[in-house]
Structure 1
Amino acid sequence: MINIGIIGGSGYTAGELIRILMFHPNAKIDFVYSTTNAEKPLSVAHQDLMGDIEMNFTDTVNPNVNVLFLCLGHGKSISFLKENPFASHTKIIDLGNDFRLINDKDFDGKSFVYGLPELNKTSIKNANYIANPGCFATAIQLALLPLAADGLLSEDVHINATTGSTGAGVSLSTTSHFSWRNNNFSHYKAFEHQHLGEINQSINQLQASYANELIFVPNRGDFPRGIFATLYTKSDESLEELLTKYQAFYKDQPFVTVTTENINMKQVVQTNKCIISLMKKGNRVLITSVIDNLLKGASGQAVQNMNLMFGLNETTGLHLKPSGF
């Protein structure tokens, strides 16, 4: 059994991790760390776990766990690891943004691998430290990687993507209150979202010559979870040629499906899936990508990475059912 510690246990991503791992056939949760809820039952923060798991939060750690999941706010993983050393054999999966960029991947003798399995599966299998991708970054990269792999990105890419309220985290802010969010819609961080760095990094990993702009407008939706992303750019390839390239790129990737049908977010919410739809109009290709921001965009992908690191089938514990209605 893989002995697991979870840090930052009261947030949305930690709640999803617990839900997956408590039914994972090869996993045992050793501790869930939360200074604000220490000694309280997990169901205090995650009410849907009531009756499923009898465990309390703790404010102490077991430094000898097999794998540590960091579910902390962005920029807080480094300070936590400085204050809390773990055994040399402990593998670490960080769900924050501290180690995602090449210039930030090395820390205290540890070198973090960017954890997008559809791009870096071999490296993930051999890694001890993983920087889990961001949610918007996952949806957008999966939409663009097949084009970059064939050197087909030659123009700016226009991106419009909408995420649910859970993308803002569990702490309240003006724009996450129900009275503001309900029946409302807005954009934020237009053209300068923090995930652009990791997206560009992955694109250049496959197509080093790409120097155009990713023009990204992120939106807040009035729903709890999911990401619906639409991207368009110029392409001389026919729809049939693009479909063939996408299907070939993802043929060994169990969580990615490519289609030319119209898709919707309910097809992926509550799952670790990404569905990509292709459409062609004149010399423009429209790519639609849908994921669950808390699963394929965070905790599900983290467990997928854990499975790869420990030599398991990457789908283990991740056969999850979408909510179609």
Structure 2
Amino acid sequence: MIRVGIAGAAGYTAGELIRILVNHPAVELRYLQSESHREEPIGRVHRDLLYSKQVFTDLDFDDIDVLFLCMGHGVSARFLSENKIPPSVRVIDLSNDFRLRASAGNFVYGLPELNKDKIMECQRVANPGCFATAIELALLPFAKSGLLTDRITVFGITGSTGAGQRPTEETHYSNRAQNLSVYKVFTHQHLGEIRETLQEAGAKTEPDIAFVPVRGCHTRGIMVNVVFQSKATLEELTTLYKTYYEQHPFVLMSDEPVSLKQVVNTNYCFIHPDKEGDNVLVTSMIDNLIKGASGQAVQNMNLMFGLDEMTGLRLKANYF
């Protein structure tokens, strides 16, 4: 059994991680650490776990095989510098502290659809961002084929859970419900990792990405619509997708338009390409908390420990 510890276990991503891991056939969930809820029952924070008798405790690094860091951006790096983690313990970080090459150190960027072989051999993984995952999966086949243009436009809508558990003016129900608003226009923090990933995949130059993120009035799920130009036919583009992802079980191309309900509560990414003239539209759908965070982290853990990457992640969407 893989002995698991979670640092920062009180937030949304940790809650989803716990939900997945309690049913994982190869995992023993040993330690759930939270500075603000130490010794409290986890069901007091994660209200869907009222039946659990587990409590938040300190971590024993000598008694785990893998450590998940579900901490705020900037906190993970400090946590690792302040704690001596045995070299044998694998680390999967869900913050943005180690995603960029300049700060990665010995972390591998944890997008299985790009770095599967590297993830299987590494000790530390930087889990991708949620918007980054949806956008990268929409564009990887084009980057690899050399068909990706320098100019890309992205319009993306995310659920309120993407802002984290702590209430803010922007996530307050009376502001978010029945409302849409843009934020971090052209400057979103995931743009750096998206550019680096597309170049690593084969993009000829660093793409100019005009990204407009939108706060949606739903709780979870990301829809991104990516637009660029190409002379390739729709049939050629479709073949590129199917060929690229045929060995990646969590990314599925649909011949028909896709919707959030098809992927929410799953680790899948559903993609639909369309074309009119030279304009290409790629729609990509994921659950921001699962494929965009905790599910992808478990997928990475599976690869690191030599398991089938789908283990514990065969989740069905709540379509109705």
The TM-score with structure 2 as length reference comes to: 0.98
Taking a change above 3 Å as real, the CA distance of residues 212 and 314 of structure 1, as seen in their structure-2 partners, is: closer
2:262 to 260, 264, 267: 267
Instruction: Give secondary structure in 2 for the equivalent of 1:125.
Output: helix
- Asked if 2 retains the 8 angstrom alpha-carbon contact of 1:153 and 1:210, the reply is no
Q: Distance in 2 between matches of 1:155 and 1:238?
A: 19
CA deviations 1:50-89 (Å, max 9, x no partner) are 22x320012x211121000000001110111122211110
Instruction: State the distance in 1 between where 2:314 and 2:202 align.
Output: 33
Distance 1:229 1:312 in 2: 30
Amino acid at match of 1:63: F
- Checking the alignment, whether the CA contact within 8 Å between 1:203 and 1:210 is kept in structure 2 is no
- Cα distance in 2 for residues equivalent to 1:97 and 1:154: 27
Note the alpha carbon deviations across 1:109-140, whole angstroms, 9 max, x for none: xx000000000000000010000000000000
Unaligned 5+ runs, structure 1: none
Per-residue Cα deviation, 1:176-224 (whole angstroms, up to 9, x for no partner): 1111111111010000000000000011112252233111000100100
- 1:157 equivalent to 2:152? Answer yes
The yes-or-no answer on 1:73 pairing with 2:72 is yes
1:149-178 C-alpha deviation (Å, 9 max, x unpaired): 000012411000000000000001110111
Partners in 1 of 2:174 and 2:16 — Cα distance?
A: 25
Alpha-carbon contact 1:243-1:259 (below 8 Å) kept: no
Residue matched to 1:61: 59
In 1, Cα distance between equivalents of 2:243 and 2:103:
32
Aligned residue identity for 2:111: L
Say which of 224, 228, 231 aligns to 1:233.
228
CA distance in 1, matches of 2:137, 2:301: 20
Mapped partners of 2:277, 2:203: distance in 1:
27
Aligned to 2:275, the other structure's residue is in SS state strand
Q: Are the aligned partners of 1:115 and 1:132 in contact in 2 as well (CA < 8 Å)?
A: yes
Residue 246 of structure 1 deviates from its aligned partner by 0.5
Distance 2:291 2:225 in 1: 17
RMSD over aligned Cα atoms: 0.8
Matches within 5 A, 1:182-193: 182-193=177-188
More helix, by proportion: 2
Task: Tell me how many residue pairs correspond in the alignment.
Answer: 319
Matched, 1:293 2:282: no
How far, CA to CA, are the matches of 1:244 and 1:212 in structure 2? 23
Q: Which consecutive residues of structure 2, in runs of 5 or more, have no partner in the other structure? A: none
Which amino acid in structure 1 is aligned with residue 90 of structure 2? K
Question: Helix, strand or coil for the counterpart of 1:298?
Answer: helix
- Pairs within 5 Å for 1:17-32: 17-32=17-32
TM-score norm. by structure 1 comes to 0.97
Q: How far did 1:5 drift?
A: 0.4
Distance 1:89 1:206 in 2: 30
Equivalent residue, structure 2, for 1:105? 104
- CA distances 1:205-244 after superposition (whole Å, capped 9, x unpaired): 1225223311100010010000010011001010001000
1:43 positional shift = 0.7
Contact 2:254 2:272 in 1 (8 A): yes
Find the counterpart in structure 2 of residue 202 from structure 1.
197
1:114-129 equivalences under 5 Å are 114-129=109-124
Q: Does the 8 A contact of 2:144 with 2:203 survive in 1?
A: no
Answer yes or no: is the 8 Å Cα contact 1:279–1:285 preserved in 2.
yes
Structure 1 match to 2:44: 44
For 1:229 and 1:187, the matched residues in 2 are separated by 14
Contact 1:155 1:234 in 2 (8 A): no
